[in-house]
Amino acid sequence: MGLSALSQQGQYGPPSSGELPASDPRRREVVEQRQLAVAAFLEAQGSDALLIERPENFAWFTAGGDASRSGSSETTAALFVTSDARVVVTSNVDSGRLFDRELYGLGFQLKERPWQEPRRQLIEDLCRGRKVAGDTGPGRTRDVADELAALRLPLSEFECDRLRALGREVAHAVEATARYLRPGRTETEIAGELAHRLLKRSIVPERLQVSADGNTRRYRWWGFGGDRAERFCILSAVGRRHGLCALATRTVSFGPPAKELRDAHYRTILMQAAGMYFSQAGLTLGEAWRRVERIYEKFDYPNEWRLADQGEAIGYHSSESVVTPGSDLRLEAGYPIAWHPSIGPALVGDTILVKGERFELLTPLEKWPRVTVKVKDMGVVRPGIYVWDDAEVASSDSILSFEGRMSDSVLE
């Protein structure tokens, strides 16, 4: 058998039909819609083609395709898209996997070179003589990364369904890891257990934070290290699957939480509940933020928010658009938002989906203490602090509840 035949079929022959994923008509429809969106984009830009190389844009255009190697940052392919064609640019090493596992039945064409020849040369050949826009700005292409980012949201209903499933499983992994914690474990050990639970569900740990005994007070974006959790621990994960990202954060205390942690936690969920409530279609992120800022001021934390970012629109990038006082991103139904305010030793975090004047919680609580915060006419259920002791964790019947009502004057 010649080299070309081996390249096409692999050493052990072509995969059987049972090994290939079933073609998904909903996903194919989303890709067709992306093709139309790019065609309109190219016409408006006066360009002939769009070159996509960033992983988040590859995943967006393909409705969940992954061009990386084993979830790493190393990309193996680019997309060359015109008004009526979509082409995968890759090597003979990766083309089989991409078309069998990532892009099956989605109508992509292939431009392939042997692995020893640089992909950049093939890209330059495709771009020659054309006006090409791109998301990295290489060679003669014009950088339109910011414009493409604006196309990634809102999500389609197909993508929302995927994000719902992802959010549930990220929250489950965080909560299950926290419930089985015991005092004395290192942050690194805990992060390993959390990553294991995520990977078992084909979720890539995009970002993990494990903060023992208040490390977030000193380092608001602490990752994890060799410190041991003796009094309490905060676990946070951003998980990615099908290109989409979701955030969940939970706090566990070994024995009754100290007053400082408990008070800070309850105040922080007030800020978070306000952000969630005012993540409404028609408002900008900046307008939603101003309501949160008033709660910081009301509870005598006027400068706490300056120590770390508070949230962002999330999606095919873990931070599509950061919440700032001047954020002008106007929300629509189908925008996912991650709110993660912090005060002192406390950090909370969850992902929601904008649904008109209401929101949908994408990272729901399972076996976890519930805290109800009243915001105007809505009771917003938030995670409390999970308390562990030698007799195992108290059941939900004995979990302390907390209800804080924010006055309408504060929230208007």
What is the edge-to-edge ordering of all strands in the sheet holding 204-212?
204-212, 232-241, 244-254, 385-388
Could you give the 3-state DSSP secondary structure of residue 230? coil
The DSSP bridge pattern shows strands 385-388 and 244-254 to be parallel
Could you give the 3-state DSSP secondary structure of residue 407? coil
For residue 359, what is the enclosing H or E element? strand 358-361
- The more confidently predicted of residues 355 and 137 is 355
Q: Which residue has the tokens 């997309």?
A: 79
**Per-residue model confidence (pLDDT) at position 180:** 93
Per CATH, which fold does 3-151 belong to? Creatine Amidinohydrolase; Chain A, domain 1 (3.40.350)
Asked whether the predicted pLDDT for residue 1 surpasses 90, the reply is no
Answer yes or no: are the C-beta atoms of 137 and 143 closer than 8 Å.
Answer: yes
**CATH 3.40.350.10 domain residues, the chain:** 3-151
pLDDT tens, residue by residue, 199-241: 999 999 999 999 999 998 889 889 999 999 999 999 999 999 9
Rounded CA-CA distance 230/247 in Å is 25
Asked whether the predicted pLDDT for residue 186 surpasses 60, the reply is yes
Band (pLDDT 50/70/90 cuts) for residue 356 is confident
Asked whether the predicted pLDDT for residue 391 surpasses 90, the reply is no
Rounded CA-CA distance 105/279 in Å is 37
Asked whether the predicted pLDDT for residue 396 surpasses 50, the reply is no
Token pair, residue 199, equals 């990977």
**Per-residue model confidence (pLDDT) at position 221:** 87
HEC string for 300-317: CCCCHHHHCCCEEECCCC
Cross-strand pairs, 380: 373
pLDDT, mean of residues 396-401: 32
Band (pLDDT 50/70/90 cuts) for residue 412 is very low
**Percent of the chain residues topping a pLDDT of 70:** 88
Query: Considering Cα of 25, then 31, then 34, then 36, what sign does the dihedral take?
Result: negative
pLDDT, mean of residues 24-31: 96
Rounded CA-CA distance 160/315 in Å is 10
**Percent of the chain residues topping a pLDDT of 90:** 81
- The more confidently predicted of residues 185 and 403 is 185
pLDDT tens, residue by residue, 272-315: 999 999 999 999 999 999 999 999 999 999 999 999 999 999 99
Asked whether the predicted pLDDT for residue 46 surpasses 80, the reply is yes
Token pair, residue 173, equals 């992994």
**Per-residue model confidence (pLDDT) at position 20:** 61
**CATH 3.90.230.10 domain residues, the chain:** 157-411
Residue 62: how many other CB atoms lie within 10 Å: 26
**Per-residue model confidence (pLDDT) at position 39:** 97
> CATH code for 157-411?
3.90.230.10
Residue-wise DSSP of 4-55: HHHHHH-TT-PPPGGGSPPP-HHHHHHHHHHHHHHHHHHHHHT-SEEEE-SH
